[in-house]
Amino acid sequence: MFLESKKAHMAVIIGCIFYGMNGLFISRIHDMAISPVIFYRLFFGILFLFIYIVARGKTSELRLKKKKGNLLLQGMLVLTCMLLYFTCLKITCVSIAILLQYTAPIYVMLASPFLLNEKIGKESIAALFVAITGVYLIVRPDGGISGIALTGNYILGIIAGLLSGVVFAALIMNVKVLKKEYPELAMVFWPMLIALLLLSPSAFEVSRDVLYSNLTVLAAFGIVSIGFGEIFTVLGLANLKAQTGSLLALIEPVSGVFFDIAVLGITLTSKTLAGCALIMGSALIISFKDSEKSS
The candidate with the shortest Cα–Cα distance to 281, out of 130, 101, 125, 75, is 130
Rounded to 5 degrees, what are φ and ψ at 241?
-60, 150
Cα gap 26→174, rounded to integer Å: 28
> Mean pLDDT over residues 200-212, rounded?
91
Residues contacting residue 6 through CB under 8 Å, at least 6 positions apart: 287, 291
Range in 88-92, 177-181, 211-215 with the lowest mean pLDDT = 88-92
> Average model confidence (pLDDT) for the chain?
76
The candidate with the shortest Cα–Cα distance to 8, out of 183, 180, 239, is 239
- Write the pLDDT tens digit of every residue in 228-265: 887 787 777 667 766 666 666 666 666 666 665 665 56
Cα gap 108→246, rounded to integer Å: 7
pLDDT of 155 strictly over 70:
yes
Cα gap 53→171, rounded to integer Å: 22
pLDDT of 150 strictly over 60:
no
Name the pTM for this structure.
0.72
Q: Name residue 245's amino acid.
A: G
pLDDT of 66 strictly over 60:
yes
Cα gap 83→103, rounded to integer Å: 17
Cα gap 79→124, rounded to integer Å: 29
Q: Name residue 44's amino acid.
A: F
Residues contacting residue 44 through CB under 8 Å, at least 6 positions apart: 218, 219, 221, 222, 223, 226, 227
Confidence category of residue 137, pLDDT binned at 50, 70, 90: confident
Confidence category of residue 147, pLDDT binned at 50, 70, 90: very low
- Write the pLDDT tens digit of every residue in 98-124: 667 777 777 777 777 777 676 767 777
> Mean pLDDT over residues 117-143, rounded?
69
Confidence category of residue 294, pLDDT binned at 50, 70, 90: very low
Q: State residue 148's pLDDT score.
A: 46
